[in-house]
């Protein structure tokens, strides 16, 4: 089975078109690493190009929907439907020629994410989910892992940034988790893919502070539709407002909340 609703089809088409630009530009990154100017400006331009393609495709198909995107901010139209876009989630990886980043698009309806797509163009892995219809990776149904003891789990996180106001708290969280798990914590550099990997059962849990809505929007529905939990650090629904997000396979949720408290 595959998801093929009208909105999903629009999102898939937009991602496929934008991915051509990302793949082409990523091929140029290696040449820029050794240049005096460096690849920074080039990556910023790529981000904006990809965003423009996504917005053009989404607006062509759904001209009345609002848009929230990392680079341009908010385009206000019909407030009941909003596309939430991160054109390249994992730009630092992209910048350094590391093939681990994704296009992320979520669709919010009346304050709830109803479908989402996270597309890794280099690995050609498309994670798609729709409310009530499950989560899929390249048209194969995915589920969260079944590990029930935190010590046996693989846990992902990200950050903190150099000047983050919660830098010390984030490092404390990291130390606390490191003392509870047998496998070292993973930091792969793309929050959307971290969430997609929880949905696919590749890792068991993910936590992070200070993420933006576009970082997590598509991941929310992917994890929920694959049987996982998405909460804030208190186990509540305030992850968008207070910018603390905890994503788990559901079985280790309480253990992770206790550590984050």
Domains of the chain: 6-141 (3.30.540.10), 150-260 (3.40.190.80)
Q: Rounded to two decimals, what is the model's pTM?
A: 0.94
Q: Which residues are registered as beta bridge partners of 84?
A: 68, 106
What mean pLDDT is predicted for residues 57-80? 92
pLDDT in tens, 198-224: 999 999 999 999 999 999 999 999 999
Out of 154-163, 165-174, 178-187, the most confident range is 178-187
What is the spatial distance between Cα 96 and Cα 105, in angstroms, rounded to a whole number?
23
Least confident span in 67-76, 94-103, 137-146, 158-167:
158-167
Nearest alpha-carbon partner for 167 in 210, 207, 212? 210
For residue 200 the two structure tokens come to: 């696919």
Least confident span in 28-42, 51-65, 66-80, 154-168:
28-42
pLDDT in tens, 15-29: 999 999 999 999 888
**pLDDT of 131 above 80:** yes
Alpha helices, H only, the chain: 6-33, 40-61, 91-95, 167-178, 191-199, 213-225, 253-260
How long is the chain?
A: 261
CB 173 within 8 A of CB 207: yes
Q: What is the mean pLDDT of the chain?
A: 92
What is the spatial distance between Cα 69 and Cα 18, in angstroms, rounded to a whole number?
15
**pLDDT of 33 above 70:** no
pLDDT in tens, 2-14: 777 999 999 999 9
């Amino acid at each position: 089975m595959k998801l093929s609703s009208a909105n999903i089809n629009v999102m898939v088409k937009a991602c496929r078109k934008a991915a051509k630009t990302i793949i082409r530009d990523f091929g140029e990154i290696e040449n820029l690493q050794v240049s005096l100017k460096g690849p920074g400006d080039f990556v910023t331009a790529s981000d904006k190009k990809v965003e423009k393609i996504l917005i053009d495709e989404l607006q062509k198909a759904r001209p009345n929907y609002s848009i929230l995107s990392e680079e341009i901010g908010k385009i206000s139209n019909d407030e009941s439907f909003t596309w939430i876009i991160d054109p390249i989630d994992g730009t630092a990886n992209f910048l350094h020629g590391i093939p681990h980043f994704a296009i992320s698009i979520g669709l919010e309806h009346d304050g709830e994410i109803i479908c989402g797509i996270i597309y890794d163009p280099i690995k050609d892995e498309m994670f798609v989910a729709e409310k009530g219809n499950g989560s899929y990776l390249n048209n194969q149904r995915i589920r969260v892992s079944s590990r029930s003891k935190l010590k046996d789990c693989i846990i992902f996180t990200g950050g903190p940034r150099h000047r983050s106001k919660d830098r010390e708290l984030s490092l404390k969280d990291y130390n606390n988790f490191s003392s509870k798990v047998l496998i070292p914590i993973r930091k792969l550099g793309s929050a959307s893919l971290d969430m997609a990997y929880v949905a696919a059962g590749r890792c068991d849990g993910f936590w992070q502070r200070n993420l933006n809505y576009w970082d997590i929007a598509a991941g929310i529905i992917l994890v929920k539709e694959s049987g996982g939990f998405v909460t804030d650090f208190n186990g509540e629904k305030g992850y968008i407002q207070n910018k603390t997000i905890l994503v788990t396979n559901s079985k280790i949720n309480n253990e992770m909340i206790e550590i984050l408290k």
